[in-house]
Every structure is written in structure tokens, then in C-alpha cells.
Structure 1
């Protein structure tokens, strides 16, 4: 199995890149974000690879980071999600954006990926809500938990009110949730919404 390719860009197609590794050209199928971030032809490139072996083919899928490859694998544990849909999702949403969409149960964000309809998006956010925290970085775990509570409608009243207040001020829901998560960490679990709003605005102004 191939886990990583390190070479130079030989050519780029609509859905793939050819990586030259010591004279051997490997075709790696990639998502739109990975393809857009590739260097120019002839320049060095490193891709994390997921090798898929089937009876009729061996296909390499390439990713710019291990996190993207991890999401690609995780997405395929969802019923009805194969490699094509999983690649479309990771090609549309960065790992952090995908984690936020699942935490907040934001089906519309996941459905932005080509070929992902409302039903599949709903299954993704529902089935991965308990698995996704393992893909959050250490600093994001608390924020992820808060966003998941918001998405499930079980967040503490003061927290939900504080997030809602920041959203009403024009901040994106994800921004607001991150700011209030930082505020809760600073002020404590029992802080009032007014204090959380003040600290959240302070965090957003930095």
C-alpha cells in the first residue's frame, strides 16, 4: 500500500495530479481544494495517499494533509457515502469547517459539496457527531463540544443566548461559538450570558 508520495508535479487534470517520483508517474485523484493548492509543474509536492484496491482497479487518492485523509476515511463509514462523495466533501470543506458543520449539525454546509444531497448531508452530520471530536485538535475539543451542544439544542441557556446575541450582531455562528467557548473557559461554566457576551466580543476583537 502507498501511504505518501513525495516527488514533483508532472501534470494536473480536472480531478487528478500526476506525481513524478524518481521517473515513475503516479496518478493521484484529488479534491478541488487540494488541486487548487498544488505548486506549478516541476515543483516539489508531497501528498498523503489513500490506496483503494478493488477487483477491477487500484486507485490512489491524494490529500494535502493527514487530517484530510482521516476525514476521507471517516466519511466512508457513513451509510451511502463512498469514495466519490467523501472526496467531494473534503474537496469542498477544510477539515476545520467540516468539523464545525458536524458539531453544529449544519446540513446545508455539508450539502454544498457537489453530489451531496440533503439526505446524505443529514446522515453525515448525524452519524459522525460522536466520532468527529477525535479529529479535533487539542485546542478545539472544548469548542467542538460546545458547538455540538448547540447543534443538538442542549446547550446551557446562558451559552445559547450569548451565541445568539453575537450572531445577531453579525458574526457567523461558528465565529460566535468559538468566541463563547473561549469565554466559558475563562469565566467558568456558571457564567451569566452578559459576561459571556462581553468576553466573547473581547475575544473577537483580538
Structure 2
């Protein structure tokens, strides 16, 4: 298994790279988040990698950091999510944004990524809940559950994603569901 590449960056054609490692050129597909942080052509680059072996190809995927690679690996474990879709998700949203969407169970944020429909987004939320959101979201599980309940209540009342998310930020930490909804509604009535 190829876990890391260190070499000279020869070509950059999104999302493909060509990296020269001591005379051997490796073609690597990277998410746009990694692509934007690459050095100039001719400079040294270090990428963490994931090798996928298929009947018809050996495909190498590169990442700027371990967190991004770990998320990629979690994504491709999900039935119906291939490497291209996982790269699209990581290109469309940062790892902390993805973790927050999972923690708060916000399917709407995932459907903004090209190629992700409502059913796929819901499956991602279900499969990754507790695996990704809790680890990377930074919020304790109990308060994130209350946040999700409060957010869902506001959405059910007809508020937009943006309004509900802004109101949720005004809710004091550690609030229960009913107190949180009351605080969110107060902040919405002032707006």
C-alpha cells in the first residue's frame, strides 16, 4: 500500500497531479481543498495517499492532511459512495463543515455538493453519525443532539436553514430542547 508520496510536482490538472518520486511519476487525484494548497510546479510536495485497486486500474488519491484522508476513507466505506463522490464531497466542503453538518444532521448542506441528492445525503448523515460528527465537530454529544432537535424544530416552523442556523448560535450552551427553542425564537423575533 502506498501511504505517502514525497517528490517534485510536475503537473497540475484539476483534480489530477503528476508527482515525480525519484524518477517515477505517480498520477494522483486530489480534492480541490488539497489542490488549492499545492506548491508551484517544480517544487517539492508531500501527500498522504490512499490506493484503490480495481480489476481494471490502480488509482491513487492524495490528501494534504491525515484528517482529510481519514474522512475520505470513512466516506468510501458507505454503500453507493465511490472515490469520485468522496472527492466531490471533500472538494465541496471542508472537513469541519462536513463534521458540523453531520453533527447537526443537516442534509441540506450536503445536497449543495454536485452529485449528492437528498437520499444520498440522508444516508451519509445516518452512516457517519457518531463516526465523524462527534470526533471532528468539537461539540459534546448531548448538546449536539439538543442542537439538532432545536434546529429541526425551527425548520418545521418554517424558518430557512440560514435563519435557523443563526438563531441556533444565540442559544446558550447547555440549554435543554424547550429552553433552546424559546431562546432561538426570541432571537428570531428581534431580527
Q: How far did residue 179 of structure 1 move? A: 7.2
Please list, as runs of the form range in 1=range in 2, the aligned pairs for 1:44-193 lying within 5 A after superposition: 44-133=44-133, 135-136=135-136, 140-142=138-140, 145-151=142-148, 153=149, 173=165, 184=173
Distance change in 2, residues 1:73/1:134 (3 Å): farther
Distance change in 2, residues 1:122/1:48 (3 Å): same
TM-score, with length taken from structure 2? 0.77
Distance 1:37 1:172 in 2: 33
- Aligned-pair Cα RMSD in Å: 3.1
Distance 1:148 1:90 in 2: 24
Q: How far did residue 148 of structure 1 move? A: 3.8
Aligned length: 176
Distance 1:33 1:113 in 2: 14
Aligned residue for 2:42, secondary structure, equals coil
- Runs (5+) with no aligned partner, structure 2: 185-191
State the Cα deviation string for residues 123-171 of structure 1 (Å, max 9, x = none): 111221122245327xx142x65234322x2x6xxxx89xxxxx99x88
Aligned residue for 1:91, secondary structure, equals helix
- Following superposition, which runs of at least 4 residues in structure 1 exceed 3 angstroms of deviation? 175-180
